[in-house]
Copies of this chain bind each other. A is one copy, B any other.
Amino acid sequence: MHILVIGAAGMVGRKLVAALAANSQINGSPIEQLTLVDIVEPAAPQGFAGKTTLTAVDLSSAGAAANLIAARPDLIFHLAAIVSGEAEADFEKGYRVNLDGTRLLFEAIRLEAKHAPYCPKLVFTSSIAVFGAPLPETIGDTHHHTPLTSYGTQKAIGELLLADYSRRGFLDGIGIRLPTIVVRPGKPNKAASGFFSNILREPLSGLEAVLPVEKSVRHWFASPRAAVRFLIHAAGLETASLGSRRSLSMPGLSATVDEEIEALRRLAGEKAVALIRFESDEAIAKMVAGWPQNFDASRAIALGFRAETSFDEIIRAHVEDELEGVIRS
């Protein structure tokens, strides 16, 4: 099997590639070739015996998608996107990369089939940003998409295109709406949602972290490990079971910041919790107030997708995967 990963240098992309390379198979099929693409050249995965191609290219540039598709990958993970904050700050760049890039990829696949039959499996990462306030307490699978950001708009359009191209038989698509991923490894960044990770990751390494919102704030979470599991499970799903509804809200954990902190207290003690400093940020609090708090992901659960059910699990995954099992607080 030849797998193309677009967005392979991102956080989820790197973890997905590491898992694919380590297993050398996906859902029982051996992987012969990995083509890894991002705007910067992705790192070569460790311990993969098959052929690896590393490419740095902007998916929205002329001919880029057609070049990638000319090799006729069997399975495509399309994870590439300008993130929410940047798509909001740079309107043209967000639409170019997130909308045009996605559409050019789908078009390249459609046009490739004009030479000889071709209909690859395509896993598209969408986002819960397709939903926007006012929202019900629990968001069901038939709730409408009213994104409140350009990023969410571009993801919602991607879902619509994915469904139409799949219905037409041009590709075999599945879209998965990822929860907010915690604990994100690396340094604190300026993403509005960053604090959900910061207040765990930093104390677990003995460092201070800032909490900009009230502890009563509720949100929707899954670990990076769960995200990789979702992607791999989606790639193996028989899409007939999806009918015409090709995108799914992934399962996750609905929890408050308070529950997050209590899990930290259980696993890393008072000393870790003491490293969290409350510093109110009205701008962040206002944004977060419009975010989803809980989902009814029963459709995805029925299809076999599984997420963590407690913050203890999410923290343990981080300690195992990123800290070699050692809490340093």
Contacts and interface: CB of A to CB of B under 8 A. Distances in A.
Contact of A160 (B143, B147, B167): B147
Contact of A142 (B144, B153, B156): B144
Interface string A48-87: 0000000000000000000000000000000000000000
Contact of A244 (B142, B148, B156, B160): B148
Interface residues of A, number: 23
A81 B31 CA distance: 45
Contact of A145 (B110, B145, B161, B168): B145
Contacts of A127: none
A129 to B, nearest CB: 12
Contact of A245 (B146, B160, B163): B146
Interface string A175-202: 0000000000000000000000000000
Interface string A108-132: 0010000000000000000000001
Interface in A136-168: 141-148, 150, 153, 156-157, 160-161, 163-164, 167-168
A147 B132 contact: no
A163 B156 CA distance: 12
A91 interface: yes
Contact of A164 (B144, B150, B161): B150
Contacts of A143: 142, 144
Given A132-B244, A244-B132, A153 B145 contact: no
A24 to B, nearest CB: 37
Contacts of A147: 160, 163-164
Q: Which 9 A-B pairs have the closest CB atoms?
A: A153-B164, A144-B144, A142-B144, A153-B160, A157-B157, A156-B160, A150-B164, A157-B160, A146-B245
Interface of A: 91, 110, 132, 141-148, 150, 153, 156-157, 160-161, 163-164, 167-168, 244-245
Given A146-B245, A147-B160, A148-B167, 8 more contacts: A91-B110, A91-B168, A144-B144, A146-B163, A147-B163, A150-B164, A153-B160, A157-B160
18 contacts: A91-B110, A91-B168, A141-B144, A142-B144, A144-B145, A146-B163, A146-B244, A147-B160, A147-B163, A147-B164, A148-B167, A150-B168, A153-B161, A153-B163, A156-B160, A157-B157, A157-B160, A157-B161
